[in-house]
Chains A and B, each alone.
Chain A
Amino acid sequence: MTQLVLLLLFDAVLLITLLGLALAAVLSPEPRRAVMLFIAFGLWLALVWARLHAPDVALAEAAIGAGLGGALMLAAARRAARARRQDAEAEP
């Protein structure tokens, strides 16, 4: 019984962290920070899926979703930051 409660507690912690990361990623206005949080979210999601006995999908999510998706977004965030910098320089 205690084991079951502990397991439930473990699940709850996993999910609360997951939702927290998602919320943080969604609410962050700063692009690079948002992407970093999204990558963290993706990696955590992979962890959760591993917990649900889905190692194949967890691997794919970590490598493709969080990894490559994150890399693409980081590049975009870099472009956005540069564009903002240029704007800032244009109008001092």
Chain B
Amino acid sequence: MTDPTFATRPDPARAAERDRDLKLLLAVLLALLGVTMTAIYALALNAGAAPRLADLALARVPQTGVDNPVTAVLLNYRAYDTLMELAVLLAALLGIWSLGPAPAGFQRSGPVLAGMVSWVVPLLIVAGGYMLWVGGYAPGGAFQAGALLGAAGVIVRLAGDPQAGLPGEAAQRWLLVLGVLVFTLVGLGLMLFGAGFLTYPPKLAKWLILLIESAATLAIGVALAAAYVGGRPTATSPLDPRPSAQPK
């Protein structure tokens, strides 16, 4: 990463000095910017439209099919954002895969960690399931649950499985797209039945959201674990029956 502003210069001593001066100047300028922005932010807070969306968002929660207001925003009011965010995760992973198989230099860890795996990983998976379920009415939800699944993958890989306990490539690919696919198909299905894209009928909202969240949890978990693996799956057994995030 060479930034043209900081390209190498001939005289090292003077260059270092100038470099320091430049960094300092930049720091002063940015500090000034920070102070200015804080003042402006204060103005925005004082003169701004105080409750903003809070009251409206909270008032509509009972019609969303979930009780946790954040989940209501994520999967109902602004479900479209969440759909695209899952696509971002997918894009990043596809980008990682396009760069080749996982980099070499994987190190098997000590026996302590390997011993931990047998009880930490199932715990993480159970916790993930719980987190998913609880997200409907308390802090938690698909992202946190998916993160726990991903963490289980990280631990499995640290304990010695280079593929982080993920299934074969074909299954991995389907799992990866599962989140966006279910989300999109639900949205399109609703559109087909006249409700409009991603417009849930209140009666079905709870179950549709749970369906989407379950698929998203799996996809997020697989994507995060696969991102940690850092490359295309090398073992190419097309239909590996192993469930996700299971230690060998």
Binding site for B on A (CB under 8 A): 55-60, 63-64, 67-68, 71-72, 75, 79, 82
199-230 of chain B: CB within 8 A of chain A? 224, 227-228, 230
> Does B12 sit at the interface, judged by CB under 8 A?
no
B144–A56 touching, CB < 8 Å:
yes
Looking at the assembled complex, report how far the CB atom of B52 sits from the nearest CB atom of chain A, in whole angstroms: 15
A68–B147 touching, CB < 8 Å:
yes
> Does B105 sit at the interface, judged by CB under 8 A?
yes
User: How many residues in B have their beta carbons less than 8 Å from beta carbons of A?
Assistant: 20
Given contacts A56-B70, A64-B143, A71-B154, contact A79 B105 (CB under 8 A): yes
A71–B228 touching, CB < 8 Å:
yes
* Distance of A64 Cα from B154 Cα, bound (Å): 12
153-190 of chain B: CB within 8 A of chain A? 154
B227–A72 touching, CB < 8 Å:
yes
A67–B147 touching, CB < 8 Å:
yes
Contact of A79 among B103, B131, B148 (CB under 8 A): B103
B105–A82 touching, CB < 8 Å:
yes
Q: Which residue of A has the minimal Cβ distance to B150?
A: A68
- A-side binding surface: helix, strand, loop or mixed? helix
Q: Which residue of A has the minimal Cβ distance to B158?
A: A71
B140–A56 touching, CB < 8 Å:
yes
Contacts of A56 in B (CB 8 A): 68, 70-71, 139-141, 144
A68–B144 touching, CB < 8 Å:
no
A63–B105 touching, CB < 8 Å:
no
* Distance of A79 Cα from B224 Cα, bound (Å): 19
Extra contacts besides A68-B147, A75-B230 (8): CB < 8 Å: A56-B70, A59-B140, A60-B147, A63-B148, A64-B144, A64-B147, A64-B224, A71-B154
Q: Which residue of A has the minimal Cβ distance to B103?
A: A79
Contacts of B148 in A (CB 8 A): 63
* Distance of A58 Cα from B141 Cα, bound (Å): 12
> Does B198 sit at the interface, judged by CB under 8 A?
no
Cross-chain pairs A/B with CB under 8 angstroms, 17 sampled: A55-B139, A56-B70, A56-B140, A58-B139, A59-B131, A59-B140, A60-B143, A63-B147, A64-B147, A67-B151, A68-B150, A68-B151, A68-B154, A68-B227, A68-B228, A75-B228, A82-B105
Looking at the assembled complex, report how far the CB atom of A39 sits from the nearest CB atom of chain B, in whole angstroms: 13
B228–A72 touching, CB < 8 Å:
yes
* Distance of A72 Cα from B223 Cα, bound (Å): 13
Contacts of A72 in B (CB 8 A): 227-228
Q: Which residue of B has the minimal Cβ distance to A64?
A: B147
122-142 of chain B: CB within 8 A of chain A? 131, 139-141
